[in-house]
């Protein structure tokens, strides 16, 4: 039976369905033959997501010292955090034992109070990286080679400045792309070659400023094209005419590039928009930026999903609810678990294994954990203390009953325990707050450090062809936020190869601008199809001016 609940934070109503209850029964832990049913959530789906994302620092890296070997390293954790942080070699080594930090559970205190104490004492891995080569300045990544400032990326080579980059090469300044080469400012696109500012497109090459184009080449300032070449502004030209027009205003000039970009953004304000951007087979699903999903409701940035609900940023998932940046099956309220332990809930940064609850950074096939930090290949542990199976089940059941009495059971770890300030996290990107709003809601805030905001002393030439390589020796200042940034050698060489201008904005502002234009809020609204008037659900809010079409009407508009 469906129940209407009121969110304890925002006071909005949300529905808890009978299907939701059945899922929680499936995922709930069992100790000594007794199932400990996870209760209905106290927060609405949006507030639950916001709480999870306050634990995820995706794009901020800091210089600090490894607490074991004392060498300098990059970390997602600032030096002022209370817990020790180790370089990758030290964290995976036998130099320390996470079980040495184990604690007896105190039934006179809350679970989260004791979890926080353990969290602040056990060494943590400096940054999540695996099997990379020459790709130090990255996070939440694996199998990278010669990459710089890539985040949430895998299996890529010679790529710079991007988020959610998969199987790419020689690409720069992108967001959510797969199997691309020589791509620049591409967003939610795949199989793109030698193209710039390509949005929601696939199988396109040698093009610029495209929206929802498929299997196109040599196209410029176009939208909704299929199997076309030598088009400008959706108008067909001969090969000779096309190149004559294109070569008259080269994109190597920053002035030309920005003029074309602004003109393109104005142009596409008035074109039809599909109510939900997706690729592949989409069956009985809702959300946005989906690829090959079935029965996935209110899901965003999901590839290959089945029977899921309230998911953000996931790959190959099944039977998962309320998770952010995950892979795997049978998970609830997990964040950055890739892959999640099977049958798991309320975890952070924990990979593989099974039956793991309320744990953080537990890696490499752990099983039967409750409230643990930084364990590797461990079983039957509570607060990092080892037990035999009988002891574990008896104590775990008593702790869950204690959490039921304190009201903690069924709730994700609170934001107050997070090692990050609000504006360091993904929560700020998807649930933006001002400093005053964040502090009023009892979040912490990281203030700007003036040393990173010095005046620029070098004038960037307008054209990449006129830009000498000694620009690498200068500190630049972002024209949008004022933060200092540098151009690295690989970036300079790739921009010269692509004949595209040096950026005048820092990476954060470039990323935020891409997200603002094309990564809509993860929330569904009821609207009418602009053309036929039928009801649709879309993440384009009714207040926004886009002409949003249902699928049938939209497909009648593509060329």
* Mean pLDDT in residue range 262-278: 94
Phi, psi of 274 (to 5 degrees): -70, 140
User: Do the bridges between strand 138-145 and strand 148-166 make them parallel or antiparallel, or are there none, so unpaired?
Assistant: parallel
Same domain (yes/no): 167, 284: no
Closest CA to 39 of 400, 318, 395: 400
Asked if residue 418 lies in contact with residue 53, where contact means CB atoms within 8 angstroms, the answer is no
Would the pLDDT of 122 be above 80? yes
Alpha-carbon distance values, 333 to 50, 51, 52, 345, 370 (Å): 12, 10, 8, 5, 15
pLDDT band with cut points at 50, 70 and 90 for residue 280: confident
Same domain (yes/no): 342, 435: yes
Where is the domain boundary, 274, 297, 322?
A: 274
Would the pLDDT of 545 be above 90? no
pLDDT given for residue 49 in this prediction: 98
Would the pLDDT of 114 be above 80? yes
Closest CA to 441 of 5, 7, 10: 10
Where is the domain boundary, 447, 479, 513?
A: 447
Residues near 279 by beta carbon (within 8 Å), at least 6 away in sequence: 190, 202, 290, 291, 292
* Mean pLDDT in residue range 490-497: 98
pLDDT given for residue 279 in this prediction: 86
Same domain (yes/no): 255, 308: no
Alpha carbon distance 445, 436 (integer Å): 9
* Tokens read off for 251: 């994109």
Residue-number span of the structural domain to which 224 is assigned: 143-274
DSSP letter (8 states) at residue 127: S
Closest CA to 130 of 351, 311, 452, 429: 351
Closest CA to 185 of 199, 173, 170: 173
* Tokens read off for 202: 């696939």
Same domain (yes/no): 318, 409: yes
Asked if residue 356 lies in contact with residue 348, where contact means CB atoms within 8 angstroms, the answer is no
Residue 543 domain-assigned?
no
Asked if residue 401 lies in contact with residue 388, where contact means CB atoms within 8 angstroms, the answer is no
Asked if residue 165 lies in contact with residue 174, where contact means CB atoms within 8 angstroms, the answer is yes
pLDDT given for residue 82 in this prediction: 95
Where is the domain boundary, 422, 447, 472?
A: 447
Same domain (yes/no): 115, 205: no
Residue 531 domain-assigned?
no
SS (H, E, C) 212-263: CCECCEEEEEEECCECCEEEECCEECCHHHHHHHHCCCCCCEHHHHHHHHHH
Alpha carbon distance 216, 81 (integer Å): 50
pLDDT given for residue 298 in this prediction: 96
Alpha carbon distance 222, 210 (integer Å): 5
Supply the angle between the helices 111-119 and 389-406 in degrees, to the nearest 10. 120
Alpha-carbon distance values, 107 to 29, 101, 380, 393, 413 (Å): 20, 19, 19, 16, 18
Would the pLDDT of 558 be above 90? no
Same domain (yes/no): 291, 435: yes
* Mean pLDDT in residue range 246-265: 96
DSSP letter (8 states) at residue 436: H
* Tokens read off for 496: 């010269």
Would the pLDDT of 54 be above 90? yes
Would the pLDDT of 263 be above 90? yes
* Mean pLDDT in residue range 151-174: 97
Same domain (yes/no): 286, 433: yes
Question: Which region holds residue 194: left if phi is over 0, alpha if psi is between -120 and 50, else beta?
Answer: left
Same domain (yes/no): 178, 226: yes
Residue 75 domain-assigned?
no
Would the pLDDT of 69 be above 90? yes
Task: Report the mean per-residue pLDDT for the chain.
Answer: 96
Residue 1 CA, distance from chain mean position:
34
Residue 329 domain-assigned?
yes
Same domain (yes/no): 294, 425: yes
pLDDT given for residue 524 in this prediction: 94
Same domain (yes/no): 200, 232: yes
* Mean pLDDT in residue range 273-278: 92
pLDDT given for residue 521 in this prediction: 85
Residue 517 domain-assigned?
no
* Mean pLDDT in residue range 42-53: 98
Same domain (yes/no): 122, 6: yes
Number of domains, the chain? 2
pLDDT in tens, 327-378: 999 999 999 998 999 999 999 999 999 999 999 999 989 999 999 999 999 9
pLDDT band with cut points at 50, 70 and 90 for residue 46: very high
pLDDT given for residue 412 in this prediction: 98
* Mean pLDDT in residue range 394-420: 97
Q: In this predicted model, which residue has the larger pLDDT, 204 or 338?
A: 204
Residue 234 domain-assigned?
yes
pLDDT given for residue 547 in this prediction: 94
Would the pLDDT of 426 be above 90? yes
Alpha carbon distance 256, 273 (integer Å): 26
Same domain (yes/no): 254, 300: no
pLDDT given for residue 516 in this prediction: 84
Q: pTM above the 0.85 mark? A: yes
DSSP letter (8 states) at residue 59: S
* Mean pLDDT in residue range 534-540: 94
The reply to whether omega before 451 is within 30° of 0 (cis) is no
Residue 250 domain-assigned?
yes
pLDDT given for residue 457 in this prediction: 87
* Tokens read off for 63: 């210089």
Residue 455 domain-assigned?
no
DSSP letter (8 states) at residue 370: E
């Amino acid at each position: 039976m469906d129940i209407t609940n009121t969110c304890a934070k925002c006071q909005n109503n949300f529905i808890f369905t009978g299907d939701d209850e059945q899922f929680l029964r499936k995922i709930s832990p069992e100790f000594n033959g007794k199932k400990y049913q996870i209760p209905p959530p106290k927060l609405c789906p949006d507030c639950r997501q916001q709480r999870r994302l306050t634990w995820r620092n995706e794009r901020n890296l800091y210089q600090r010292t490894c607490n074991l070997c004392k060498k300098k390293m990059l970390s997602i954790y600032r030096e002022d955090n209370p817990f020790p942080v180790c370089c990758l070699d030290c964290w995976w080594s036998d130099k320390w034992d996470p079980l040495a930090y184990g604690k007896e559970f105190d039934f006179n205190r809350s679970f989260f109070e004791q979890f926080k104490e353990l969290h602040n004492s056990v060494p943590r891995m400096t940054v999540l990286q695996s099997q990379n080569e020459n790709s130090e300045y990255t996070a939440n990544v694996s199998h990278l080679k010669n990459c710089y400032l890539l985040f949430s990326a895998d299996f890529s080579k010679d790529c710079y400045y991007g988020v959610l980059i998969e199987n790419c090469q020689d690409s720069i300044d992108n967001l959510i792309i797969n199997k691309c080469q020589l791509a620049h400012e591409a967003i939610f696109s795949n199989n793109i070659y030698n193209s710039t500012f390509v949005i929601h497109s696939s199988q396109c090459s040698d093009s610029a400023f495209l929206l929802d184009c498929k299997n196109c080449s040599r196209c410029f300032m176009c939208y909704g094209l299929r199997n076309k070449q030598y088009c400008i502004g959706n108008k067909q030209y001969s090969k000779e005419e096309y190149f004559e027009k294109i070569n008259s205003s080269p994109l190597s000039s920053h002035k030309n590039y920005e003029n074309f970009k602004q003109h393109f953004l104005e142009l596409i304000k008035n074109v039809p928009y599909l109510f939900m951007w997706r690729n592949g087979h989409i069956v009985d699903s809702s959300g946005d930026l989906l690829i090959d999903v079935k029965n996935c409701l209110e899901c965003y940035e999901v590839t290959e999903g089945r029977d899921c609900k309230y998911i953000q940023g996931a790959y190959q998932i099944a039977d998962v609810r309320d998770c952010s940046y995950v892979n795997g099956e049978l998970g609830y309220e997990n964040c950055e678990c890739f892959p999640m332990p099977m049958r798991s809930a309320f975890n952070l940064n924990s990979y593989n294994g099974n039956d793991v609850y309320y744990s953080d950074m537990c890696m490499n096939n752990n099983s039967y954990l409750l409230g643990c930090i930084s364990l590797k290949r461990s079983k039957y542990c509570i607060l990092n203390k080892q037990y035999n199976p009988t002891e574990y089940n008896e104590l775990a059941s008593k702790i869950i009953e204690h959490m039921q009495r304190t009201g903690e059971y069924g709730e994700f770890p609170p934001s107050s325990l997070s090692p990050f300030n609000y504006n360091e996290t993904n929560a700020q990107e998807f649930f933006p707050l001002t400093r005053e709003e964040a502090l009023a809601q009892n979040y912490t805030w990281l203030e700007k450090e003036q040393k990173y905001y010095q005046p620029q002393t070098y004038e960037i030439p307008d054209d990449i062809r006129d830009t000498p390589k000694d620009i690498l020796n200068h500190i630049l200042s972002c024209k949008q936020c004022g933060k200092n940034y540098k151009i690295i050698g690989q970036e300079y060489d790739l921009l010269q190869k692509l004949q595209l201008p040096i950026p005048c904005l820092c990476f954060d502002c470039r990323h935020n601008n891409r997200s603002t234009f094309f990564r809509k809020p993860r929330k569904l609204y009821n609207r009418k199809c602009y053309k036929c008037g039928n009801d649709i659900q879309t993440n384009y809010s009714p207040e926004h001016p886009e002409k949003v079409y249902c699928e049938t009407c939209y497909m009648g508009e593509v060329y």
